């Protein structure tokens, strides 16, 4: 049995601001403990949830120094669904109302966290064979491993993996402050290992120092090697060669299951989807004030209201689409006000045909996944994407732009040989989106049998974490052989 330690800034069930927490919560459970025992180390934020539902065991305490600073840390452990979580307690660093704040504070906070990962292992007398670090907040772990802790016998032979969940966030800050806050030796900075275009850049350091680097789809990995997708670091990713790969995230298939989901109007499975989805559609239409029509194509979108998600394409072509078709649109999202305003304009102008819901609602999101025929994701970029996986599991055909994880998971439908899983378009262009919607309508309205076969096929796909875990296992095996 080999030890793998996840160094990560958030994990379900304790703290979640995005998909990273789902990965950190779900992936360790999908491993066979006889081969790899994965433990997870996160900060014990004051804003952590469910802490009182678990028995926290105090493992020890230590004063940790970071350059000229020194702060107390307490190490706690608890077990969730068979996975050990270590929670690192520092009132000084982790007591804010949210895990993340201003970048200048976060640089110091997560430099400290990364250092504590090693000090906590010492308290626990725990030797990790691999430290698997996630996103910029844990980016200094591979750097510390090869510098400050390289001669520590507890970490002899320890390898590191760094996984990027979103390249937009790199931990960039004024280089002199990064020098001061990380406490790293001057040689690291003399080589420019933590510097990019004159700025300090923690993520760059992780990419250079980690033994393996991964991201959450192979297509996103390939995009990161290009100037368009590399966010200024494309040369570093190209330099990494075969040590940089992509592994698609899984889906919690128990949580997202239309045959058991308590939030949808009627449960259904691959055998009963026709009646089940019809009832979900009619009740959703009624609930949202849309015209009740079981035969109309209902197109849904559940998303952060962010430029990344392609809303400018939708608002650009929506009126042309609505005035030339019978289909209906339902939006659920929260985020940027100007996007919300444009979607509300559409629902005001086309009552009964467009429903805009500006809020965060797990309940409504499930009803949309179950009741719609098509799920829209025309993203500018998408590292992996979860929503298209959920929609396929609910028999709602995704219509996506061919980018990142969307390109990898939604093979385009081919009406001649009946291959593919959904509808897609290549260029970030509103009329390509419109044409693709029209093509989807043609299959939906005129080739009903083909449509139903597509629904059946998508519902049967296996997106479980076990598939991803197998790929990570191969990566771990390769590092330790
Ligand atoms: P990202 O992580 O970039 O936001 P993903 O597709 O990977 O995009 O994951 C988004 C997840 O958040 C999906 O499960 C989606 O259903 C959910 N979600 C997004 N916005 C909302 C909302 N307003 N209400 C409910 N769920 C939402």
pLDDT tens-place string over residues 285-343: 999 999 999 999 999 999 999 999 999 999 999 999 999 999 999 999 999 999 999 99
Amino acid 352: pLDDT: 97
Residue of the nearest CA to atom 4 in ligand 1?
Answer: 304
**∠ CA 236-240-241 to the nearest 5 degrees?**
125
- Give me ligand 1 centre to Cα 332, in Å: 10
State which ligand 1 atom lies nearest to the alpha carbon of 333. 23
Q: Is residue 449 packed enough to be buried (19+ CB in 10 Å), middle (13-18) or exposed (0-12)?
A: exposed
Residue of the nearest CA to atom 24 in ligand 1?
Answer: 360
Residue 330: beta bridge partners?
300, 355
Size of the chain, expressed as the number of residues it contains: 481
Amino acid 440: pLDDT: 98
Q: Torsion over CA of 157, 248, 404 and 342, rounded to 10 degrees?
A: -120
Q: What pTM, to 2 d.p., does this model score? A: 0.93
Residue of the nearest CA to atom 14 in ligand 1?
Answer: 387
Ligand 1 binding pocket mutation candidate from 16, 250, 304 (most atoms within 8 A of CB): 304
Question: What are phi and psi for residue 183, nearest 5 degrees?
Answer: 65, 25
pLDDT at 463 over 90: yes
pLDDT at 437 over 90: yes
- Give me ligand 1 centre to Cα 19, in Å: 8
State which ligand 1 atom lies nearest to the alpha carbon of 390. 14
pLDDT in tens, 44-88: 999 998 899 999 999 999 999 999 999 999 999 999 999 999 999
pLDDT in tens, 419-432: 999 999 999 999 99
Ligand 1 binding pocket mutation candidate from 386, 393, 408 (most atoms within 8 A of CB): 386
pLDDT at 275 over 90: yes
Ligand 1 binding pocket mutation candidate from 303, 360, 392 (most atoms within 8 A of CB): 303
- Give me ligand 1 centre to Cα 304, in Å: 6
pLDDT at 19 over 90: no
- Give me ligand 1 centre to Cα 212, in Å: 28
Residue of the nearest CA to atom 3 in ligand 1?
Answer: 385
Residue of the nearest CA to atom 13 in ligand 1?
Answer: 387
**CA–CA separation, 323 vs 341, rounded Å?**
20
Look up tokens 């990713």; give the residue.
Answer: 237
111-124 average pLDDT score: 98
What lies within 8 Å, CB to CB, of 419 at 6+ separation is 411, 413
Per cent of the chain over pLDDT 70 is: 100
Handedness of CA 129, 135, 137, 140 (dihedral sign): positive
Contact 41, 167 (CB under 8 A): no
- Give me ligand 1 centre to Cα 365, in Å: 9
Contact residues of ligand 1, CB 6 A cut-off: 18-19, 302-304, 332-334, 360-362, 365, 385-387, 390
**CA–CA separation, 186 vs 337, rounded Å?**
45
Nearest to 158 by CA among 127, 182, 187, 180: 127
Contact 358, 336 (CB under 8 A): no
pLDDT at 18 over 90: no
Amino acid 330: pLDDT: 98
- Give me ligand 1 centre to Cα 448, in Å: 29
What Rg, from alpha-carbon coordinates, does the chain have?
A: 24
Amino acid 259: pLDDT: 98
State which ligand 1 atom lies nearest to the alpha carbon of 377. 6
Nearest to 301 by CA among 402, 408, 177, 387: 387
Amino acid 50: pLDDT: 87
**∠ CA 211-213-215 to the nearest 5 degrees?**
165
pLDDT grade for 405, boundaries at 50, 70 and 90: very high
Handedness of CA 128, 133, 139, 143 (dihedral sign): positive
**CA–CA separation, 191 vs 213, rounded Å?**
20
Phi/psi region, residue 168 (left: phi>0; alpha: psi -120 to 50; beta: rest), is alpha
pLDDT in tens, 355-396: 999 998 999 999 999 999 999 999 999 999 999 999 999 999
- Give me ligand 1 centre to Cα 397, in Å: 17
């Amino acid at each position: 049995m080999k030890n793998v330690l996840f160094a990560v800034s958030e994990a379900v069930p304790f703290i979640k601001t995005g998909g990273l927490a789902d990965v950190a919560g779900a992936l360790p459970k999908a491993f066979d403990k006889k081969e790899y025992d994965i433990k997870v180390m996160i900060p014990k934020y004051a804003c952590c949830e469910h802490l009182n539902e678990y028995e926290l065991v105090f493992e020890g305490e230590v004063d940790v120094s970071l350059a000229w600073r020194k702060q107390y840390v307490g190490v706690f452990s608890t077990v969730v669904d068979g996975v050990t979580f270590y929670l690192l307690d520092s009132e000084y660093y982790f007591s804010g109302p949210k895990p993340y704040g201003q970048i200048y504070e976060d640089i110091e906070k997560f430099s400290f966290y990364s250092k504590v990962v090693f000090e906590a292992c010492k308290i626990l007398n725990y030797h990790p064979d691999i430290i698997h670090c996630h996103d910029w907040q844990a980016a200094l772990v591979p750097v510390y491993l090869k510098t400050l802790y390289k001669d520590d016998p507890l970490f002899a032979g320890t390898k590191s993996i760094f996984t990027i969940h979103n390249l937009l966030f790199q931990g960039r800050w004024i280089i002199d402050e990064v020098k001061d806050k990380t406490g790293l030796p001057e040689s690291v900075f003399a080589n420019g290992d933590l510097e990019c275009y004159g700025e300090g850049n923690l993520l760059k350091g992780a990419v250079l120092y980690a033994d393996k680097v991964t991201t959450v789809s192979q297509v996103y990995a390939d995009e990161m090697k290009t100037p368009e997708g590399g966010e200024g670091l494309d040369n570093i990713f190209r330099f990494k060669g075969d040590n940089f790969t992509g592994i698609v995230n899984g889906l919690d298939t128990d949580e997202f299951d239309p045959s058991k989901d308590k939030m949808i109007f009627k449960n259904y499975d691959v055998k009963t989807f026709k009646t089940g989805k019809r009832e979900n559609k009619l009740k959703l239409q009624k609930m949202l004030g849309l015209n009740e029509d079981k035969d109309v194509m209902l197109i849904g979108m559940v998303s952060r209201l962010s430029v990344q998600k392609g809303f400018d394409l939708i608002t650009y072509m929506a009126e042309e689409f609505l005035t030339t078709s019978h289909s209906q649109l339902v939006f659920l999202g929260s985020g940027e006000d100007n996007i919300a305003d444009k979607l509300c304009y559409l629902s005001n102008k086309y009552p009964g045909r467009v429903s805009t819901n500006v809020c965060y609602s797990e309940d409504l999101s499930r009803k949309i996944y179950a009741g719609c025929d098509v799920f829209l994701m025309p993203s500018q970029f998408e590292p992996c994407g979860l929503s298209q996986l959920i929609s396929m599991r609910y028999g709602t055909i995704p219509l996506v732009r061919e980018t990142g994880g969307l390109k990898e998971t939604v093979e385009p439908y081919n009406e001649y040989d009946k291959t593919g899983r959904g509808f897609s378009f290549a260029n970030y262009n509103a009329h390509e989106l419109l044409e693709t919607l029209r093509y989807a309508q043609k299959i939906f309205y005129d080739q009903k049998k083909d449509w139903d076969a597509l629904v059946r096929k998508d519902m049967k796909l296996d997106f479980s974490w076990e598939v991803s875990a197998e790929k990570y296992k191969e990566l771990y095996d390769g590092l330790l052989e």
